[in-house]
Structure 1
Amino acid sequence: MSKLLVTGQSGFVGRHLLAHLANHQSEWQPVAAPSHDLLDTNSLDAWVSATRPDAVIHLAGQTFVPEAFRNPARTLQINLLGTLNLLQALKRNDFQGTFLYVSSGDVYGQVTAEQLPIDETLLPKPRNPYAVSKLAAENLCLQWSFSEPDWRIVIARPFNHIGPGQAADFLVPDMARQLIRIRKGLQLPRLQVGDVDVSRDFLDVRDVVRAYFHLLEKGQSGEIYNVCSGVERDIRELIMQMASLAEVEITLEQHPDRLRRAEQRRVAGSGEKLRAQTNWQPIITTTTTLHDVLSDWDERIHNNNE
Structure 2
Amino acid sequence: MNLLVTGGAGYIGSHTAIELIMAGHDVVVVDNLSNSTRAAVSAIETVTGRDVTFFEYDIRNDSRLDEVLACRAFDAVLHFAALKAVGESAAQPLRYYANNVAGTATLLDGMNDYGIKTLVFSSSASVYGDPDTMPIGEDSPPDPKSPYARTKLITENLLHDLHDADPDWRISILRYFNAVGAHPSGRIGEDPSGVPNNLLPFVAQVAVGRRNCLNVFGDDYPTPDGTGIRDYLHVVDLARGHVKALDYLAGAGGVSVHNLGTGRGYSVFEVVHAFEAASGRKVPHRVAARRPGDVAVSWADPSKARDELGWTAEYDLERACEDLWRWQLTHPRGFSTRKA
Amino acid at match of 1:194: F
Report matched runs for 1:1-306 at 5 Å: 2-22=1-21, 24-26=22-24, 28-31=25-28, 32-96=53-117, 98-112=118-132, 115-164=133-182, 165-166=189-190, 167=192, 168-181=196-209, 191-195=214-218, 197-219=227-249, 220=252, 221-249=254-282, 252-254=285-287, 256=288, 260=291, 264-301=295-332, 305=337
Q: How many residues align?
A: 293
Change (3 A) 1:19 1:235: same
SS at match of 2:264: coil
User: What is the CA–CA distance in structure 1 between the aligned matches of 2:66 and 2:217, rounded to whole Å?
Assistant: 44
User: What is the CA–CA distance in structure 1 between the aligned matches of 2:301 and 2:294, rounded to whole Å?
Assistant: 20
User: What is the CA–CA distance in structure 1 between the aligned matches of 2:332 and 2:310, rounded to whole Å?
Assistant: 39
Runs (4+) of structure 1 moved beyond 4 Å?
Answer: 258-263, 302-306
- Cα RMSD (Å): 2.3
User: What is the CA–CA distance in structure 2 between the aligned matches of 1:217 and 1:272, rounded to whole Å?
Assistant: 18
Alpha-carbon deviations, 1:95-117, whole Å to 9, x = none? Answer: 24x211111111111222xx211
Deviation for aligned residue 1:238: 1.7
Change (3 A) 1:47 1:244: same
Change (3 A) 1:146 1:33: farther
Asked whether the 8 Å contact 2:146–2:292 carries over to 1, the reply is no
User: What is the CA–CA distance in structure 2 between the aligned matches of 1:64 and 1:39, rounded to whole Å?
Assistant: 19
Asked whether the 8 Å contact 1:45–1:90 carries over to 2, the reply is no
Alpha-carbon deviations, 1:248-297, whole Å to 9, x = none? Answer: 3455432x4x6548852211111111110011111122211101111211
User: What is the CA–CA distance in structure 2 between the aligned matches of 1:153 and 1:100, rounded to whole Å?
Assistant: 6
Change (3 A) 1:95 1:237: closer
Deviation for aligned residue 1:173: 1.1
Amino acid at match of 2:124: S
User: What is the CA–CA distance in structure 2 between the aligned matches of 1:80 and 1:237, rounded to whole Å?
Assistant: 35
Q: Report percent identity of matched pairs.
A: 26
User: What is the CA–CA distance in structure 1 between the aligned matches of 2:204 and 2:4, rounded to whole Å?
Assistant: 32
SS at match of 1:295: helix
User: What is the CA–CA distance in structure 2 between the aligned matches of 1:252 and 1:67, rounded to whole Å?
Assistant: 22
Change (3 A) 1:62 1:117: same
Asked whether the 8 Å contact 1:38–1:78 carries over to 2, the reply is no
**TM-score, with structure 1 as normaliser:** 0.88
Change (3 A) 1:60 1:191: closer
Alpha-carbon deviations, 1:189-208, whole Å to 9, x = none? Answer: x6553335221101011101
User: What stretches of structure 1 of length at least 5 have no aligned partner?
Assistant: none
Change (3 A) 1:276 1:127: same
SS at match of 1:33: strand
Change (3 A) 1:287 1:263: closer
